[in-house]
Amino acid sequence: MSQLLTAAEMRDVEAAAIATGEVTGAELMARAGAAVVAAIRAEWEGELPTQPRAVVLAGPGNNGGDGFAIARGLRDLGWSVRVLLAGQAGALPPDARAQHDRWAAGGAARGAVLPLTLETLRDEPAADIYVDALFGIGLGRPLGGDLARVVAHLAGADGTLGLYQPRMVAVDVPSGLDADSGRVPGDPAGAAAVRARLTVTFDSPKPGHYLGHGPDLCGRLVVADIGLAHARARQGAARGLAPARTRVVPPLGIADPRRSVWPDIAGLLTKRQGHKYQHGHAMVLTGGVGRGGAARMAAKAALRIGAGAVTLGCPPAAVLESASHVDALMLHRVPDAAALTEALSGGRITALCLGPGLGTGEREAALVGAALDWGGAVLLDADAITLMAGEATLAAKLHDRCLLTPHPGEFRRLFPDIAGRLDDPDPSLRYDEAADADAQARSRAAREDLAAQRGPMMSTLDAAREAAAHCGATVLLKGPATAIAAPSGAAVVHRAVYDRAAPWLATAGAGDVLAGLACGLLARGLAPPVAAELAAQIHVDAALSFGPGLTAEDLPRQVPQVLARYLAP
Ligand SMILES: NC(=O)C1=CN([C@@H]2O[C@H](COP(=O)(O)OP(=O)(O)OC[C@H]3O[C@@H](n4cnc5c(N)ncnc54)[C@H](OP(=O)(O)O)[C@@H]3O)[C@@H](O)[C@H]2O)[C@@H](O)CC1
Ligand SMILES: [K+]
């Protein structure tokens, strides 16, 4: 189940399941509570005393309701449990209120529900487990007042992190984290949110579990099935949305009736018999003398990923330099844009990569223009993006066979308005009013679609999606969680976090290899969003399979091992 659902989409799915009568809100809450109890037992197995003690921090909404269900589940296992409630029991929504009442009906044996304040929390004897059931997907704004102090205390503001984090399980999301964006409303640094060892979310992961501060705050992430998979599939179809509008890749491998929408990676990567040119011919443009290394690295990656042939397009003075480096690569002299146009017009080149080490002079600007005028598959990275940022007529030539692979700095240069809104801590600046008006005018479905994406804050995923819609090309925005968006609105988050964290990938030249992998896949005929998705995945696979000590040069050499795993019968 690797569909990513925003908070609004999650509510939609829940409401749809309840509307058909197949489940009630109370049942879902009970399943959520049971799932958290099971995850706690699995996570802390063997570490707890015979009669463990838990403190449950319950919030004013249904996340708090889950907290009461968890309290009961732990109590039934013989735990000693205390619940501290933020707000009034009488103000809880109905399902949460019912859970509260069932807990309170246990009477003195369970102990009174105390109001949650910094003082009551500090007065509690230390617990073995703390359950953060304060806020889930309903956090709508920055925390304030006493609750902000409570969360700051839990987050370690007064040197208490060592006490809480190793014992903290967050229900759905760590409180203070916005489930849609991975940002912490009111605190760009992300310190004003609970830090957990374990986070248990329901049905589907949310974008905020992967983006921004999410992976840092969540600890380990468990996605619990609460029986909504069919309602989710039905709801997506009813809305006329592309199945799995936003996915996280690689898939998490949990039940999903729509699993078939995932690309068949082996099918896409395998090579059938045939002539080398039937597997595509990539051209990678290099920079001037002494600047060809980045492009050569990209070219090697394109070759490893299975492009039938790869040619380096070099300025005449740099041909010799590249010739002495790689035997399997062909060389072509590209003095200027006219020469590039001529090379592309021959019909053999099936994808072009420009950017790594290219340079940012007039010649290079003209090359970008010629590449875009060609109309074929073009990967634009690094200097090519910088050139487009400085020259609006170049960016205006982008089309749907283009793939842009900016890092955050390059993204900021090319899309300053979108990046500006992404940076702004004021949640009201999340939306692009012009795009809103556009959607309002188009159709009810477009309006609903827009509403389903709305959270309090903008995410890097939103930014990539907006940029792709704006420029008409696929955008891969690099980061630990890479966001890939097609102009159609379909998007993917590639997770290089949690069990796929690849810190050694932060090394010079790794981006050039990614560009080469993607270009090789474009050359093999894959559509830009698919090429981007597979390239991001294989890039991280290669880093993980090498491990510590990785340099960019090692990445193409790891590709055969990675391919062998995907292609194993
Ligand atoms: N959907 C599902 O499928 C399922 C959902 N389930 C569970 O329900 C959870 C969602 O519940 P939810 O919608 O009640 O939201 P929740 O996170 O409890 O917060 C809302 C409360 O917080 C308040 N509030 C918000 N921000 C605030 C702030 N800054 N400072 C102060 N107050 C603030 C807000 O007040 P208001 O904005 O209305 O003034 C409201 O009272 C979900 O995460 C999961 O755990 C599961 O049981 C099973 C299936
Ligand atoms: K929570």
Mean pLDDT on 111-136: 95
Considering only 11-15, 174-178, 376-380, 431-435, which range has the smallest mean pLDDT?
Answer: 431-435
Question: ipTM value of the model?
Answer: 0.98
Query: CB of 526 within 8 A of CB of 264?
Result: no
Ranges of beta strands (E only) in 440-480 are: 474-477
Is residue 121 scored above 60 in pLDDT?
Answer: yes
Query: CB of 118 within 8 A of CB of 152?
Result: no
Instruction: Kindly indicate the confidence band of residue 566, based on its pLDDT and cuts at 50, 70 and 90.
Output: confident
**Both tokens of residue 211?**
């983006």
Q: Which atom of ligand 1 is nearest to the CA of 143?
A: 29
pLDDT of the residue at 2: 79
What does the domain layout of the chain look like in residue ranges? 7-254, 265-408+493-567
- 280 CA → ligand 1 middle, Å: 51
- 433 CA → ligand 1 middle, Å: 27
pLDDT of the residue at 430: 59
pLDDT of the residue at 255: 42
Instruction: Kindly indicate the confidence band of residue 230, based on its pLDDT and cuts at 50, 70 and 90.
Output: confident
Q: d(Cα 38, Cα 411) in Å, to the nearest integer?
A: 42
Question: Phi, psi at residue 3, to the nearest 5°?
Answer: -80, 140
Mean pLDDT on 550-560: 96
Is residue 398 scored above 90 in pLDDT?
Answer: yes
Q: For the chain, give the mean pLDDT.
A: 90
Is residue 276 scored above 80 in pLDDT?
Answer: no
Mutate to test the pocket of ligand 1, among 6, 11, 63 (most ligand atoms within 8 A of CB): 63
Distances in Å between the Cα of 513 and the Cα atoms of 71, 258, 296, 300, 554 are 50, 32, 9, 8, 10
Is the pLDDT higher at 245 or at 481? 481
**Residue 456 in contact with ligand 1 by CB distance below 6 A:** no
Q: d(Cα 41, Cα 49) in Å, to the nearest integer?
A: 12
Mean pLDDT on 422-449: 63
Is residue 275 scored above 80 in pLDDT?
Answer: no
Does 182 appear as a known binding residue? Answer: no
Residue range 482-504, pLDDT digits in tens = 999 999 889 999 999 998 999 99
> What does CATH list as the number for 265-408+493-567?
3.40.1190.20
Is the pLDDT higher at 488 or at 167? 167
Between 3.40.50.10260, 3.40.50.300, 3.30.70.890, 3.40.50.2300, what CATH number should domain 7-254 receive?
A: 3.40.50.10260
Instruction: Kindly indicate the confidence band of residue 447, based on its pLDDT and cuts at 50, 70 and 90.
Output: low
pLDDT of the residue at 262: 55
pLDDT of the residue at 41: 97
Is residue 445 scored above 80 in pLDDT?
Answer: no
Instruction: Kindly indicate the confidence band of residue 270, based on its pLDDT and cuts at 50, 70 and 90.
Output: confident
> DSSP of 110-155, one letter per residue?
G-PPEEP-HHHHHHSPP-SEEEEES-STT--S---HHHHHHHHHHT
DSSP secondary structure code for residue 313 in this structure = E
Q: Which atom of ligand 1 is nearest to the CA of 95?
A: 47
Nearest CA to ligand 1 atom 26: 139
- 60 CA → ligand 2 middle, Å: 11
Instruction: State what percent of residues in the chain have pLDDT above 90.
Output: 74
